[in-house]
Amino acid sequence: MTEAHWLTAGEIGSAYAARRLSPVELVQALLNRISALDPQLNAFIRVDIEAALDAARDAEKDIVAGRTRGPLHGVPIGIKDIIDVAGLPTTCHSKILLDNIAAEDAAVISRLRAAGAILLGKLSLHEFATGGPSFDLPFPPARNPWNITHHPGGSSSGSGAALAAGLVPLALGTDTGGSIRNPAAICGIVGLKPTYGLVSRRGVFPLAFTLDHIGPMTRCVGDAALLLDAIAGHDARDPGSVPVSCSRFGADLERGARGLRIGFVRHFHETDLPADPEVARALDDVSRVLTQEGAEVRTITLPPLRELSAVQRLIMQAESWAIHASWLRERPGDYARATRRKLMIGAFHSAADYVHAQQHRLQMIAAVDDAFRDADVLLTANAMDPACRIDDEDTLARTYARQARSPFNLTGHPAIALMCGLTKTGLPLSAQLVGRAHDEVTLLRAAAAYERASEWHRHRPPI
C-alpha cells in the first residue's frame, strides 16, 4: 500500500473498508510526520493531538462495529486558522486575536464532523487572509515544501504546504482574491473556489463580505469533489448563502473531456499581463492535452484582466477597511507591516468609488456569463510566475499581483487550480479552469479529465 501519508481521502476510505488501515494508525502516522517535518515548514499553528487521537479511536470503534458517520469517516483534515473550531483559538495568524477562543463551530466544521472527518489542527495563513508571508507576527510564515527557501502562496499558505508535504490528506481554505488557488498553484495541489454562496461562511472571520469563499484544498480532483459534498449547503444564518440544491459534485468525474467546449482565455497571460515563458508553455500544453482527450478548445475574450482585477481590488479594500478600521486606529502596531499597508488603502476609497465598482461588477458578471454561451468551461492562467524566495520582498510584491484568480471572486464563478508542470528548477506550475455558476459538476469533470491524462498530481516535493 502507498505510504499512509500520501493516501487520498478516497483511498483512505477504501483502506478502512478492507481493514488494511485504521483511523488510529493513520492519525498517528500523520502526527509523526508533522512532528518530523513541520518545524521547517510552519504549516500548523496548532496540532490538536489528543482530540485527533480521541476522534480516531471513536471512528475506529464505529468501523469495527460496521457503522459509518459519513463519506469522510475517519479522514483527517487541517483547518485554516480563520475558521472557528469550538474551544480552540481562532487567531487569524495575528496578535490581535491571540486570545480569541471560538464559542461554537463554524458551519463548515459542523458539516465536517457530521461527515465523520477528524480535525488535526489549525493551519497557518497570511494575517487576516491578506498581507503576505511576514516575519513580524506571533507565528512564523509557512514555507514551500518544494523548496523551503521559497514562499508557499497565500493566504491559505499552511493548507497548501501541509497538503503538498503529506501532513494532511484534506484541508480547508478561504478565497477572497485567490487565496485557495494561489497556494494550490505554488504548492502543486488542487484548490477549488466554489460558486459564491454555495458554502456557508458563518464562523469564518471575514476579509470582504461580498467576495469571501470557503473551499476544498486537496491533492486530487476526486477528493475536492468529496470534500465539497461534505461542506456545501444552504445556511440561513449566512446572508450570502444561496438556497440551491447540492448534487453529488463528483457525479461526472469519469465522463472525460470528450464533447466539452473549452474557452481558452489567452489574452490574460499573453497580452494583458504577459506570463513567465514556462507558465505560458504549460498552459499551451493543458490546451493540447484537453484537445487530445476530445474537448473542443477555442480562444475566447473576456474583459481586460487589469480592469477585472482593479474592480475586485477596490471592493476588497473598501470592505476590508470596514472590518478592520477600529483595530487599525486603536492597535496599528499589532498588525504585520505588510498587512497594515494593504488594509490602510481602503481608508482612501469613497462611497462613490465603492458604488461605481459594484456597478462595474454587474457588467463583468454578465460578460463572463455571456462567455459560457460558447463554452462549458474556461481555461485561464493562475499565477503568471513561479514561486520566489520567501525573503525577497520586492519580487513578492511584484509577482503576487500577477495573477488571473481575482476576476472570479468578483464574478462569483467556480474556479479550480490544477498542477500542470514543473519549472526547470523544480517548482510547480498551475492552470485554472472556471465553470458556470453552480455547475461544479462540469468543472470537476473537466479537471478530472486533465488530471488523468497528465499525471502531474502524482509528483511529490523532495522533502
User: How buried is residue 64: exposed, middle or buried, by Cβ count under 10 Å (0-12/13-18/19+)?
Assistant: exposed
Active-site annotation holds for 179: yes
328 neighbors 363 (Cβ within 8 angstroms): no
DSSP conformation letters of 353-372: HHHHHHHHHHHHHHHHHHHT
**Residues in Cβ contact with 347 at an 8 Å cutoff, skipping those fewer than 6 apart:** 321, 325, 328
Catalytic residue among 22, 124, 155, 287: 155
DSSP conformation letters of 29-60: HHHHHHHHHHHHH--EEEE-HHHHHHHHHHHH
Distance CA 295, CA 31 (A): 42
Distance CA 222, CA 215 (A): 14
Distance CA 30, CA 374 (A): 45
Closest CA to 52 of 88, 81, 83: 88
Catalytic residue among 156, 179, 309, 406: 179
Beta strands in 242-401 (DSSP E): 261-264, 296-299, 377-381
Distance CA 387, CA 368 (A): 29
168 DSSP 8-state letter: -
Catalytic residue among 80, 122, 193, 342: 80
Evaluate the CA torsion angle 80, 82, 83, 88 in order and state its sign. positive
Distance CA 287, CA 143 (A): 31
Distance CA 73, CA 192 (A): 21
- Strand-by-strand arrangement of the 296-299 sheet: 44-47, 118-123, 76-80, 170-175, 213-218, 190-193, 415-422, 428-435, 377-381, 261-264, 296-299
Residues forming the active site? 80, 155, 179
